Amino acid sequence: MYCSVVDPEHDSVTGRNRSQRPQRTHHEVADELRARIRSGSLRPGERLPTQARLAQEFGVERGAVRQALRVLQSERLLTNVSKGSPATVAPDPAGALTGPQAPPLPTTVTLAPRIATAFAADHVEIDAVCLTSISLTLAIGEPLRQIHAGRLKPAKVDVRVLLPSRDIELAFPVPVEGSGDDWVHERWLAMRNAQGQVLQHNLLALRATHGIDVHVTFRALPFTPPVKLYLLNGTEALFAYYTLTRREAEADHEQPALYDAQGTQSMLFAFRQGAGLRDTTFVEQSHLWFNALWETISSELVLTS
C-alpha cells in the first residue's frame, strides 16, 4: 500500500478541470516531487501513486510523468521506476545528489541516466562535442535497452556529433617526448571511427526494429576540443573539461608516455533551462555555440580509416 501525494487543492473531487490549468513540464513535476521528498512529505521507502494518478494530479500526459520520475531516479531520489509498478522513495534521499545544486559526477555516472531521461521525449535531440564519442556510445546503451524492453518509444531521434578532423595535428593525445606521433594519432583515429560507427549502427538499427525515425550526423572540427558538451532536447546542457594527465609508457610494447585525457572520468556540470537565469543562459549560449560550429567551420566527416 502506498500513501497518496495528491494535494487536495488538485484532487479531482474539487471539481476543477485540469485542462483549465497551464500544462506543466516534466521538469516542474520533478521539482514538485523533489520538494516533497526533501521536506519529508514523502518518506524513505514510501511508494508514490501510479503514473496515471500523478498525471491526473499534475494535469500532464503520462509521458511527462515518466520523464519526471526518471530525472529523480537519476538523482537517486527514487527507485523502481518502471511502467509496471509505482516508484518508491529511495532509502536515503537525504544523501542523494539532487537538482541543480548537486555536485558534478564523472561522465560514466551522470550521462547514461540523463540520456535515458532525454529518450522519454517523443522527439529526442542530442548534440555533442567531444574528442571521441565513447562516452556517448556507452550512455546510449541504457535507453536502447529500455526501447527494446518496450519501456521507451520515441517517434524521432536526431543526433549530431562534432569530432576532431583526422587531418589536424591534435593538441592531445600527444607523446611527452614529441616522438611516435603517427602511432598516437592513428590509435586515436581508430577509436574515433570505431566508436562513431557503433553509435551510428546502434541508433540507425532502431528504424528497422522499432520504426523510429532516426538521423545520426557527424561533422569534423579543425581543432581539438578542450571540453566536452552534450545538449539534450534543447533544455539541458552537460559540460566537462578534458583534464590532461601523463600516462606512462607501456614497457612491453615500447609505447611512448602520453599527455592524454580520460574523458569518461571528466566531471560533468549540469545546466537546465528554467532552473534560473544562469542555467537558462548557459543552455541557450551552448546551443548558439554548437550551431555556429556546425554551420561554419566544421566539415563533412567520414568514419573510415
pTM of the model: 0.72
| pLDDT on residue 130 | 97
Higher pLDDT, 9 or 199: 199
Largest alpha-carbon pair distance within the chain? 76
Lowest mean per-residue pLDDT among 13-17, 63-67, 208-212: 13-17
| Cell numbers linked to 152 | 521507451
Task: Give the whole-angstrom CA distance, residue 8 versus residue 14.
Answer: 8
Chain mean pLDDT for the chain:
84
| pLDDT on residue 4 | 37
Over residues 120-133, the pLDDT tens digits come to: 889 999 999 999 99
Task: Give the whole-angstrom CA distance, residue 2 versus residue 266.
Answer: 39
| pLDDT on residue 40 | 76
Buried b (16+ CB within 10 A) or exposed e, 163-199: bbbbeeebbbbbbeeeebeeebbeebbeebbbbbebb
26-89 folds as Arc Repressor Mutant, subunit A (1.10.10)
| pLDDT on residue 93 | 63
Domain with CATH 1.10.10.10 in the chain: 26-89
Over residues 59-101, the pLDDT tens digits come to: 998 888 888 888 888 777 888 887 567 899 988 765 555 455 5
| pLDDT on residue 264 | 86
